[in-house]
Amino acid sequence: MSKQDGRSRQVNETPVDDTGADILHIDMDAFFASVELLSRPDLRGTPVIVGGLGPRSVVSAANYEARRYGVNSAMPMSVALRRCPNATVLPGSYALYQQYSAQVMDIFGDFTPLVEKLSVDEAFLDVRGARRLHGSPSQIATAIRARVFAETGLTCSVGAAASKFVAKVASSRSKPDGLLVVPPDQTLAFLRPLPISALWGVGPATEQQLERLGLRLVGDVADTPYEALRRAVGEALATRLQHLANGDDPRSVSVHREEKSIGHEVTFGYDVTEDADVRRAMLRQSDDAAARLRAAGLLGRTVVLKVRFTDFTTMTKSRTLSEPTNVGRRIYEEAVAAWEASGAAGRRIRLIGVRVEQLGEGGPGLGLWDPDEDWRDAEAAVDEVSARFGRGSVKPAALIRPSSDR
């Protein structure tokens, strides 16, 4: 069915029967780094890391040349550069990544309306209804990969299978720039030799628990009596793992992906103790969260403040509103109230974040008297200016001052 090289990469070597393999998982290859290399072709073939160079910066992305040195996303930049001192570090541009993401998602949508976007660089597609127009799943995947490269210069990897779980595993095995189709009748043969870390829900701690039972492969989990698995990891996880290990994943591709929360957080360049610096960070995050809520047509009812101290202990405080909102000033005022009630003022702060939860669709939901009316009108005007001149072209005066979180 496929060939496998020394790096565990699997791709189809010869055509396979893809009947029933109607779920595609498409994952862009080293997306952030690949987008940066479009304008820096001189760096192709060399290690490239996307991220900041501050003392607390982390790796946002790394190309495959850097990954060979053990560089991974979310790794402290200082560690990454010790492992790969010859890497080029690029600052990155999220707006540019969003632009290319939109272009790629539009290509997916040309083949099927059933596209479930998971993030800026990956999505599930259900192509059952696209056969008559675009061909078999293998043909559709091949055509998508060709169009993405022709129109953007980027590559992607595709897994095709009968379920979302198997399709996602297949795309990860085919990276970079590959296609792996898993026919339904070969699902178990594909899954059983894989390490248990391939199962959703198996992180380092769960992996250790399973290995203590002698379980190292997906096939081991599939063959283990349910009661033994339940005693090791609990009922809910045991049920899920046995279903996945046997290739059972009934979830369909969902076009509408519900966001559970919207928010922002920042790690300061150095520990912050000044109340003014903390409040400026919260104001910026509140405004950004509100803008995203309005852009998505959402309202939020609960404001959550997250504070991480210099010793890495983390505190969260939440406040629930009587009426949901998408007004940045209201979100900020609730975050400030949570901050003042936390007793954290004066402590050394490493990170702070503001997010909004309990999201729902709808308009402002105003009564006879709206205490946020002036702020709502002002922020709507800011949205109009930002749409024309770019985000950040208008901002609160407090954010124009130099701030330690920049």
Active-site annotation, residues: 122
Report helix, strand or coil for 200: coil
Q: 273 with 307: CB under 8 angstroms?
A: no
Burial (CB count within 10 angstroms: exposed 0-12, middle 13-18, buried 19+), residue 133: exposed
Rounded CA separation 66/63 (Å): 5
Q: Is 27 annotated as a binding residue?
A: yes
349-361 sheet: strands from edge to edge? 261-272, 349-361, 298-309, 314-325
List CB contacts of 98: < 8 A, sequence separation 6 or more: 120
Q: Report the Cα–Cα distance between both ends of the chain, in Å, rounded.
A: 51
Q: How far is CA 137 from the centre of its chain?
A: 25
Other residues' Cβ atoms within 10 Å of the Cβ of residue 262? 22
Helices (H) and strands (E) in the chain — how many of each?
15, 14
Rounded CA separation 366/279 (Å): 28
Element (H, E) at 35: helix 31-38
HEC sequence for 74-116: CCEHHHHHHHCCCCEEECCCHHHHHHHHHHHHHHHHHHCCCEE
The tokens for 329 are 């000033």
Q: Is 374 annotated as a binding residue?
A: no
Burial (CB count within 10 angstroms: exposed 0-12, middle 13-18, buried 19+), residue 341: exposed
- The residues facing 4 across adjacent strands are 10
Rounded CA separation 92/384 (Å): 26
Q: Which residues are annotated as a binding site?
A: 27, 121
Annotated binding site for Mg(2+): 27, 121
